[in-house]
Amino acid sequence: MKKLIVTLILCCSNTAFANSACDNPKNDFDGLYCLNKVYQEADKELNENYKKLSDKLNEDGKRKLKTGQLDWMSERNSRCSKHEADQFYINLDCATSVTVKRSQFLQDRLRECVSSGCQNSKL
């Protein structure tokens, strides 16, 4: 059975802790809990933005959005996780950061759709 080891870079995660009211985690497990809460919220927002944008797009736009999202997920996974033997590591700080950036990208595309029309070439 594969072991799951989640690596944390706690010293680089001060922003995540401040945003989640976890300013002073008592140990690594508290830190993991806090980072996970922040990541889950970022992922939820990303999914909401994806759905809102998808609802505004025509079929070609939806295909491009899906392809872009799958490419982004692959890039996120390669940047923020690694496999070694029967273990894998996930850097939640990295995953949160790239998820927030992608969510902002989707939000910007949604704003364009609403204000000046959807531009499938930007997806």
Written as one letter, the residue type at 41 is: E
Scanning 1-123, the segments in alpha helix (DSSP H) are 14-19, 28-56, 59-80, 92-116
List, for residues 101-111, the tens digit of each pLDDT value: 999 999 999 99
Q: Which of 19, 51, 46 is nearest to 34 (CA)?
A: 19
Kindly report, residue by residue over 48-101, the tens digit of the pLDDT.
999 999 999 999 999 999 999 999 999 999 999 999 999 999 999 999 999 999
Q: What ranges do the domains of the chain cover?
A: 3-122
What tokens does 66 get? 């899906």
- Residue 5 has, within 13 A of its CA and on its CB side, a CA count of 11
Check if the beta carbon of residue 114 is closer than 8 Å to that of residue 56. yes
Does the pLDDT of residue 2 top 50, yes or no?
no
Residue 30: the pLDDT is 87
